[in-house]
A and B are shown apart, each in its own frame.
Chain A
Amino acid sequence: MDPSISIKNLKLSFGAVEVLHDLNLDIGKGEFLVLLGSSGCGKSTLLNCIAGLLDVTDGQVHIGGKNVTWEEPSKRGIGMVFQSYALYPQMTVEGNLAFGLKNAKIPKAEIKERIARAAKTLQMEPLLKRKPAALSGGQRQRVAIGRALVRDVEVFLFDEPLSNLDAKLRADLRVEIKQLHQTLGNTMIYVTHDQIEAMTLADRIAIMRGGSILQLDSPKEIYNRPATKYVAEFIGSPTMNFLDGRVEGGAAPRFVSDVASFDLKGYEFATASPEPCDAWFGIRPEHIITGPEAGNAPVKLNGQVELVEPLGSDTLTRVSAAGQRLWVRMDGQADITPGQTLPLGLNPALANIFHKTTEARL
């Protein structure tokens, strides 16, 4: 498949500070790519470079097979949705939708038709004559999406579009965006710091840190096999548990720590026989087995319950085992009180082991 967007050796510096380092990224036609990272990682900057709102220092941006590095934003075939909606306050919703089309000198009849179509897709026909000030946050963002929609473009760029909305609306609009993507089949790039948005929406997630992409993979792969400890910590809530210890190499590798020492049978190492080294043994809270099944797990240990957080659907429990703390996700109906001893079971096949110094997955 031809890439819809491809970024080649992209560099961006503000003065002496290099913000993006030699980025390469190919995004397929109709793909939903999420750029995920904490604030200041360069994800929004990268999006602005793709949109043409920032001049790149070096490298190229190709959209739809055309080199658009020097093109104006409006000539790149993109629509963009911003965090603060960025609706023109003095124009009606209709005016907002029409503004870009008028600038592109599109005939009146077609403008009308496109607006009608977008309004229908986003169910905002009754809002067309209103000013943005008379709309709720969710409606405003819908109009902003509509403004990208009427441009009839191949690529949609979203810059944290849901961050200004409350939790309930965010979940609703997230579903709508996913639905929209399934209906339209456009290429979409979506910037967010919210891992749930990333996991639910993305075909592929690019996790960024310090102006580089750490890992670019499907949500499932990123969740199950994070490439580095940073990625492992960033995805998943509560975060992955890490046991401090050592990997003893050889044909039958073992993990040795104060809590427990056990065979790593079933764990897929990146290399056939790992060198012995200090390491983190990472296991997600939902992969720690409790209750009667714990006895059947490959690795068994006992923990002291310190804290219980009932969420209704699940119960999060913090246990301590030989001085190391672990979060455990249990059934919502579990009856746990602090102070009690909890038998725990681990399966190394579900774990991720990271090198202590390089933090790369072993």
Chain B
Amino acid sequence: MSDPASLSATVAGADAMAPALSGPRGPKPRRRFSRRNVFIYGTLIVVALYYLLPLYVMIVTSLKGMPEIRLGNIFAPPVEITFQPWVKAWAEACTGLNCDGLSRGFWNSVRITVPSVILSIAIASVNGYALANWRFKGADMFFTILIFGAFIPYQVMLYPLVILLREMGIYGTLTGLVLVHSIFGMPILTLLFRNYFTSLPEELFKAARVDGAGFWQIYLQIMLPMSLPIFVVAMILQVTGIWNDFLFGVVYTKPDLYPMTVQLNNIVNSVQGVKEYNVNMAATLLTGLVPLVIYFVSGKLFVRGIAAGAVKG
């Protein structure tokens, strides 16, 4: 090592020479059309087109009149834009005896989804909180049984549940279906909430206990305000799951109360008369609209919540 005086002299010298630096300097320049970029973006664009094409065909077809559809150019944009198929799908299409379109099914689905989502999330979040923080006797056993429930195929439970609902006198009613949806959402939602609540600092819970807060107070005043992301995740899972459900809807309700998905199937698969492709497309788009909107509105929170819940198992 040289002595301090000459060291500081070198530093000052380097400073003065700075503008005259030669050779590579600063960020490395990148070619926009490198082989790598072309490959990555090319693949992404092809895949995106592949997935978006059916949606495009559906939208385009739903806006055409039947004569135009019969020409057979399914990729061509509509010459004459008409919203008649949408109106028909929503308000006039016939399923069975009713000819009031999908609107009936839509409201049925709303009446099924809203209470099911609220009920299942309310119960599951308290379950998860109790399992994560209060560690009552037999908690692990309870949790294992609950998780095991997630792996039993639905088909096994279909008929026993029919009998159970019949005995309770709510078979074929919306109440019955709401109950079924809430029960089937329980294992996965409880797991989700339990994992999220275990990831919250335990000392927070202890501090609240020292401060004299009880079971519900800690849940409502401390835990709930911190758990918005996981509630959004649970809500999205449940809304899309229940809205898209077909099996339970067809098994546990009767035609007047069929959810939108079942009604859609009945419209699209009706064997009488002409196949109205434009109405079918419009009806399908209408049915898929709700989950789509939910994803768009809460996508960011969804990712945050999933990431938060996944940290600890």
Please give the residue numbers on chain A whose beta carbons come within 8 Å of chain B beta carbons, in ascending order. Answer: 48, 51, 53, 72-75, 78-80, 82-84, 86-90, 99-100, 103-104, 147, 151, 159
Contact = CB atoms under 8 A, between A and B. Distances in A.
A144 to B, nearest CB: 8
Interface residues on B, range: 10 to 19
A323 B208 CA distance: 57
Contact of A82 (B206, B213, B217, B221): B206
B222 interface: yes
Given A74-B211, A100-B210, A86 B203 contact: yes
A159 B217 CA distance: 24
A159 B208 CA distance: 15
A80 B217 contact: no
A90 B298 CA distance: 21
14 contacts: A72-B209, A72-B212, A74-B211, A74-B212, A82-B203, A84-B204, A86-B201, A86-B207, A87-B207, A90-B226, A99-B221, A100-B212, A103-B212, A103-B217
A73 B217 CA distance: 15
A51 B226 CA distance: 25
Given A82-B203, A84-B201, A103-B217, A90 B209 contact: no
CB-based closest 8 A-B pairs = A74-B212, A100-B211, A103-B212, A86-B207, A86-B203, A90-B225, A82-B203, A73-B210
Contacts of B225: 89-90
A103 B210 contact: no
Contacts of A53: 206, 209-210
Contacts of A86: 201, 203-204, 206-207
Contacts, number: 61
A82 B226 contact: no
Interface in B192-240: 201, 203-204, 206-213, 217, 221-222, 225-226
A82 B211 CA distance: 13
Contacts of A78: 210
A89 B224 CA distance: 11
A75 B212 CA distance: 8
Given A82-B207, A103-B212, A151-B211, 13 more contacts: A72-B209, A74-B209, A84-B204, A86-B207, A88-B204, A88-B222, A99-B211, A99-B213, A99-B221, A103-B211, A104-B212, A147-B207, A159-B203
Contacts of A99: 208, 211, 213, 221
Nearest to A148: B210
Contacts of B212: 72-75, 100, 103-104
A82 B201 CA distance: 11
Nearest to B228: A90
A43 B209 CA distance: 20
A73 B209 contact: yes
Contact of B208 (A79, A84, A88): A88
Interface in B131-177: none
Interface in B54-93: none
Contact of A80 (B201, B207, B222, B226): B207
B210 A74 contact: yes
Nearest to B213: A103
Nearest to A98: B211
A43 to B, nearest CB: 15
Contacts of B208: 88, 99
Contacts of A88: 204, 207-208, 221-222
A84 B202 CA distance: 10
Given A88-B222, A89-B226, A103-B217, A51 B203 contact: no
Contacts of B206: 48, 51, 53, 73, 80, 82, 86
Contacts of B204: 84, 86, 88
Contacts of A90: 225-226
Given A86-B201, A90-B225, A80 B210 contact: yes
A83 B203 contact: yes
Nearest to B201: A84
Contacts of A151: 211
Which residue, B209, B212, B225, has most C-beta atoms of chain A within 10 A? B212
A89 B207 CA distance: 12
Contacts of B222: 88
